[in-house]
Amino acid sequence: MNDIQEVLLDEQSIASKVRELGERISHDYAGRDLMLVCILKGAITFTADLMRKIEIPATLDFIQPSSYGNAAVSSRKITLKKDIEADVAGRHVLLVDCIIDTGETMDFLMKRLRDRGPASMEGAVLLDKRSRRVVDVPVKYIGFEIPDRFVVGYGLDYAQKYRTLPYVAVVRT
């Protein structure tokens, strides 16, 4: 695709990182009631791959914050577009997102769910743009730290495009 400037992470590197994260999570949550919460829409690919590398029982739910906007710039007003259906009280919740940027989305969602009394609350992200962090939200499972560039693919979009790409790439914006 000629809109793609550079492939940052290919399918193989992603797959081996996802396997590694799945092993860590399986180990850390052994014997616990694990609830995976996929942050729509971006985390759909990561969650689908990650959950198949988690070797302990887990449930799956979906949550959707208000849209990041149609461009590489955010509007920074976060609301809940879709809430999870299950009760989190007493459960070990793992919030899964594809990327953490300013940290505001993860922070907002963690606070919302924490109010409902989970037994524990952690985050898992494939990509971390650490240099952009505004809110100091602790994320336990991080795949790759990446530079401050707008990336697409593996679930991530630019104006709703490129989500279906199997790799992570920098797009010409």
Q: Which residues belong to the active site?
A: 101
128 near Mg ion, judged by CB under 5 A: no
Residue type, 91: R
Name which position in 18, 58, 151, 169 contacts ligand IMP (CB under 6 A).
151
Return the residue of 58, 157, 162, 168 that touches Mg ion, per CB under 5 A: 157
Is residue 62 within the footprint of ligand IMP (CB under 6 A)?
A: no
How far apart CA 125 and CA 123 sit, in angstroms, is 7
Partner whose footprint covers residue 105, from Mg ion, ligand IMP, none (CB < 5 to 8 Å by kind):
ligand IMP
Q: Tell me which residues in 17-56 interact with ligand IMP (CB under 6 A).
A: 39, 42
Distance, in Å, from the CA atom of 131 to the CA atom of 80, rounded to the nearest integer, reads: 26
61 in Cβ contact with 85 (< 8 Å)? yes
Distances (CA, A) of 121 to 34, 36, 54, 85, 114: 10, 10, 17, 17, 7
Nearest one of 162, 140, 164 to 150, comparing CA atoms: 162
Amino acid symbol at 93 = V
Q: Whole-number minimum distance, CB 68 to Mg ion, in Å?
A: 4
Q: How far is the CB of 57 from ligand IMP (least distance, A)?
A: 27
Q: How far is CA 17 from the centre of its chain?
A: 14
104 binds, among ligand IMP, Mg ion, none (CB under 5 to 8 A by kind): ligand IMP
- What are the residues binding ligand IMP (CB under 6 A)? 39, 42, 68, 97, 99-106, 150-152, 156
User: For binding to Mg ion (CB under 5 A), which residues are involved?
Assistant: 68, 157
